[in-house]
Chain A
Amino acid sequence: MKKLYDSGKILTGLFFFLAIVTSPFWYNKVSGKGAYVPELKIEKDEKECVRRTGYMKKSHMELLRLWRDEAVRKGNRIYIREDGKKFEISLSGTCLNCHKKKDEFCDRCHGYVGVTPKCWTCHNVPQEAKK
């Protein structure tokens, strides 16, 4: 085995580098900041959502993008689900009709994972806009 010159400096540097690079994985646990699960308050008028909960949790952005292209680019404002049920394509009109309080629903998870969807810049939220 050849000798590793400056092994002290190298190993110290390597340790700090790895610590910094892996920090997203251990920081929240250590500091206790990420120690909560976002609590979503769902006010439901309709019995069910446009798609089932599992799909929405994972892919609601995909559905929103599809809706955006359907409504804006194709002029089609009716979404027909696989089982034939029809929904009006509208973020404020359909989605937010049930999930009325954005800050108790949408913002909870978005805040937790640190995303700021740009949608809200233009698509006003009826409840919030009254503030």
Chain B
Amino acid sequence: MKRRDFLKLIASGLCSGIFFPSILVPGEKKREKRWAMLVDITVCAKSKDCRACVDACHETHNVPSIGSSKEEIKWIWISTFDRVFENELPISIKDNLSQPVILMCNHCENPPCVKVCPTKATWKREDGIVMMDYHRCIGCRYCMAACPYGARSFNWRDGKPYLGKINYDFPVRAKGVVEKCNFCEERISRGLIPKCVEACPLGALKFGDIADPESEVSKILKGRISMVRKPHLGTKPNVFYLL
């Protein structure tokens, strides 16, 4: 082979090789901001019938109440400890397996839903929030299949007839798109805290920037034992459950 051809071959090989690591290997970027939610399940356990966070979120974001488990849409919801932490049952909580646990999108560091979206209708922002673009979503529901936490809902029909009190400051969604918790990014951009955090009467939810070591949430995380959902999957969730 001539030397020129050999060099061309090496160059093209290197160029094509450069793309592979970025596609295949999830990187952990050092970011300026990393929004995270802390859920203190010991506080939540004191009030088993409380739905304040769910109602506040769904009202603020015009989430319709379809009324069937088949088509329901939920951004935040309440489950029990044994269902959420099936693999990570710590011995100390064995007596309280049915205590309530608040669930929402984890805005993972390594989100599988972002990896699979064919239109980039969902992506991870610089500040850590996994965003949804309802204008671009084609409703293929690949992200729903990819999410290990069941955090995403699809609009199986037009939700407008199922809305209660409408919040005119926030849009509704059309049928045929996927939606999920957005960490109240529209409120954060105005300097407010997420609605669920604000609505919790017991202060079980805390929100903040864990990339900032001086933030309240960073300090709490340093001082208490915390868990995330399904850590063995490598998604690195940003919702921490305080024990």
Q: Do chains A and B touch in the complex (CB under 8 A)?
A: yes
**Partner-B contacts on A (CB < 8 A):** 68, 72-73, 75, 77, 92-93, 118, 121-124, 126, 129
> A124, B189: Cβ atoms under 8 Å?
no
Closest residue of chain A to B159, judged by CB? A122
> In the complex, which residues of chain A have a beta carbon less than 8 angstroms from the beta carbon of B164?
none
Contact with B172, one of A68, A72, A75, A124 (Cβ below 8 angstroms): A124
Please measure, in the bound complex, the distance between the C-alpha atom of A124 and the C-alpha atom of B174, giving whole angstroms.
Answer: 11
> A122, B173: Cβ atoms under 8 Å?
yes
Chain B 93-144 residues near chain A, CB threshold 8 A: 125, 127, 131, 133-135
Q: Which of A68, A118, A121, A129 has the most CB of B within 10 A?
A: A121
Closest residue of chain B to A129, judged by CB? B166
> A72, B131: Cβ atoms under 8 Å?
yes
Please measure, in the bound complex, the distance between the C-alpha atom of A74 and the C-alpha atom of B124, giving whole angstroms.
Answer: 11
> A77, B189: Cβ atoms under 8 Å?
yes
Closest residue of chain B to A121, judged by CB? B174
> A126, B168: Cβ atoms under 8 Å?
yes
**A-contact bits for B163-197, CB 8 A (1 contact / 0 none):** 00010110111100000000001100110000000
Please measure, in the bound complex, the distance between the C-alpha atom of A30 and the C-alpha atom of B135, giving whole angstroms.
Answer: 40
Contact with A122, one of B125, B127, B172, B185 (Cβ below 8 angstroms): B172
> A123, B171: Cβ atoms under 8 Å?
yes
> A72, B168: Cβ atoms under 8 Å?
no
Contact with B168, one of A73, A118, A124 (Cβ below 8 angstroms): A124
Contact with A72, one of B62, B127, B135, B174 (Cβ below 8 angstroms): B135
Known: A75-B125, A75-B189. A124 touches B134 (CB 8 A): no
Please measure, in the bound complex, the distance between the C-alpha atom of A126 and the C-alpha atom of B190, giving whole angstroms.
Answer: 21
> In the complex, which residues of chain A have a beta carbon less than 8 angstroms from the beta carbon of B190?
77
> In the complex, which residues of chain B have a beta carbon less than 8 angstroms from the beta carbon of A72?
131, 133, 135
A-B contact pairs, 30 of them (CB 8 A): A68-B135, A72-B131, A72-B133, A73-B131, A73-B133, A75-B125, A75-B127, A75-B131, A75-B189, A77-B186, A77-B189, A77-B190, A92-B168, A92-B169, A92-B171, A118-B174, A122-B134, A122-B171, A122-B172, A122-B173, A122-B174, A123-B171, A124-B62, A124-B166, A124-B168, A124-B171, A124-B172, A126-B168, A129-B166, A129-B168
Please measure, in the bound complex, the distance between the C-alpha atom of A93 and the C-alpha atom of B167, giving whole angstroms.
Answer: 12
> A75, B185: Cβ atoms under 8 Å?
yes
> In the complex, which residues of chain B have a beta carbon less than 8 angstroms from the beta carbon of A68?
135
Other than the known A77-B189, A124-B62, what 8 A-B pairs have Cβ atoms closer than 8 Å? Answer: A68-B135, A75-B189, A92-B168, A121-B174, A122-B134, A122-B172, A123-B171, A129-B166
Q: Which of A72, A77, A123, A124 has the most CB of B within 10 A?
A: A124
